[in-house]
Amino acid sequence: MESQDGTIALTGQIGLIWKQTKAPLLVPFLKVMVVVCLAMSVMLFVERVYMGIVIVFLKLLGRKPEKMYKWEVIKDDVELGNSAYPMVLIQIPMYNEKEVYQLSIGAACGLSWPADRIIIQVLDDSTDRAIKSMVEQECKRWASKGINIKYEIRDNRNGYKAGALKEGMKHSYVKQCDYVAIFDADFQPEPDFLYRTIPFLINNPEIALVQARWKFVNSDECLMTRMQEMSLDYHFIVEQEVGSSTYAFFGFNGTAGVWRISALNEAGGWKDRTTVEDMDLAVRASLKGWKFVYVGNLKVKNELPSTFKAYRYQQHRWSCGPANLFKKMAIEIIRNRKVSLWKKFYVIYSFFFVRKIVAHIVTFVFYCVVLPTTVFVPEVQVPKWGAVYIPSIITLLNAVGTPRSLHLVMFWILFENVMSLHRTKATFIGLLEAGRVNEWVVTEKLGDALKAKSGAKASKRTHIRMGERLHLLELGVGAYLFFCGCYDMGFGKNRYFIFLFLQSIAFFIAGFGYVGTFVPTS
């Protein structure tokens, strides 16, 4: 009886504390957060609508890069012979790429270009001696076939990928080359890649970079890869296209692109001050007045991360790096005198602030924290246009890039909200230059490993340690959303509980590690 009375008394005390703190503290704070989140939502909405309008006009007007810039097929010259073709360096940075090294090296060696006008440079930072030996043997095998391929290693991994690319440019034979094409270890260019990109650089001296689109070979592997395809298709079909056609600027994707070496050097070369060395180089080159071209109809095969662990690491790097770069370069961009005021506004506000910072923060803070919390505070109301209409339109504008996956749009919303937890955390780490700001974990590629191991006996799958599958952050957010949903269903008036329950389930699924594929370790 005494314990029951004690419980009632404790409940009463908690209720009293809640009433005393809600009115003077929580209500004003939540109202401010709602206004801030609505403002960020409007920013994102305007950005998406603007780019949607631009892309429609580009399609209607048929503004292809071959029409916007001078582009002519490289013609054979009897007198000049192969010297009519410029020297091209192909760089393939690698790090313990056991599953895919043969694919990338083979594709690079299969490029249609005069053999004496191309140098393939494999930059191997592998720490596994067995893998290192296999990569070296593969290079020797292609060299024996008459391919001009160089196998380069270094004593350390300083600067990670940027350090490897920078070191690769120091070799004496690079001085012969006019252009450098870069392919990550899982990228497989088609044989005509150089024939379709190099003419832009030859005929237009103001162009520094030609970027191709990515084509995902494993997008159907699991639901997680389908979700990634939707997000990345929007990036390539809309963001890259709009940036290229209207401002001649976009962020270099770090691979499947060709640089004019003189422009690369003028911009200061590769720097390892952030984990987005590719974007860093692109911004610096743009500030020197160089232009970029995106060729959307030229696709290069590559692989999406299909394990949740690999995807989380990748998203941390892709979210932390741009925020950190924005902090380092904002003042430099503002002070620059070589580019127009309109282009500076586009780079600072649209490219960096809205897409790399606001988009991540508003997704998590608004839909996973502020909106759920309002169920406890009826004094704070979120207008329907901010809670329903704007996010719905933004979602549809994002999804149109992948029409084959429109029926999966609800899954995409829930998955993106889950990932926004890590993107928001990474964004703040980048802005504040906190602990993991320079963390670089190479995205794991599986190649054919999944197919080879899919036949493994089910008994082998039982060796998974639960600690490796549990993600406490996701579980914590999922529990909070579930609690909010229960309260809203029992006492609230917002009718958010359907969304809250669905979103909490998505967080729980991710929290228990049932996202992506699982590759047996044995």
| Domain assignment present for 337 | no
Considering only CA atoms, which of 276, 361, 352 is closest in space to residue 320?
A: 276
pLDDT of 428 reads 96
**Sequence-separated (6 or more) residues with CB below 8 Å from residue 73:** 195, 199
| Domain assignment present for 63 | no
- Look up 272 and say whether it is catalytic: no
pLDDT of 62 reads 84
Range of the domain at 114: 75-304
Q: Which residue bears the tokens 């893998």?
A: 131
- Written as one string, the DSSP assignment of 21-40 is HIIIIIHHHHHHHHHHHHHH
- Integer Cα distance of 73 and 65 in angstroms: 14
Q: State CA 399 to chain mean position distance.
A: 16
pLDDT of 420 reads 97
| Domain assignment present for 435 | no
Burial (Cβ within 10 Å: 0-12, 13-18, ≥19) of residue 231 = middle
pLDDT of 5 reads 58
- Look up 5 and say whether it is catalytic: no
Q: Per-residue confidence of the chain (522 residues) as pLDDT tens digits?
A: 555 555 666 666 666 666 666 667 788 899 999 999 999 999 999 999 999 999 999 989 888 898 899 999 888 877 777 888 999 999 999 999 988 999 999 999 999 999 999 999 999 999 999 999 999 999 999 999 999 999 999 988 899 999 999 999 999 999 999 999 999 999 999 999 999 999 999 999 999 999 999 999 999 999 999 999 999 999 999 999 999 999 889 999 999 999 999 999 999 999 999 999 999 999 999 999 999 999 999 999 999 999 999 999 999 999 999 999 999 999 999 999 999 999 999 999 999 999 999 999 999 999 999 999 999 888 889 999 999 999 999 999 998 888 899 999 999 999 999 999 999 999 999 999 988 888 777 777 776 554 554 444 433 444 455 566 789 999 999 999 999 999 999 988 888 999 999 999 999 999 998 988 866 554
| Domain assignment present for 220 | yes
| Domain assignment present for 402 | no
| Domain assignment present for 405 | no
Catalytic residue among 124, 125, 184, 280: 125
Question: SS3 for 91?
Answer: strand
| Domain assignment present for 287 | yes
The torsion of the CA quartet 351, 357, 361, 363, rounded to 10 degrees, works out to 20
Residue 225: which CATH number? 3.90.550.10
| Domain assignment present for 52 | no
Catalytic residue among 186, 233, 272, 278: 278
What is the gyration radius of the CA atoms in the chain, in angstroms? 26
How many domains is the chain partitioned into structurally?
1
Question: SS3 for 72?
Answer: coil
Q: State CA 318 to chain mean position distance.
A: 5
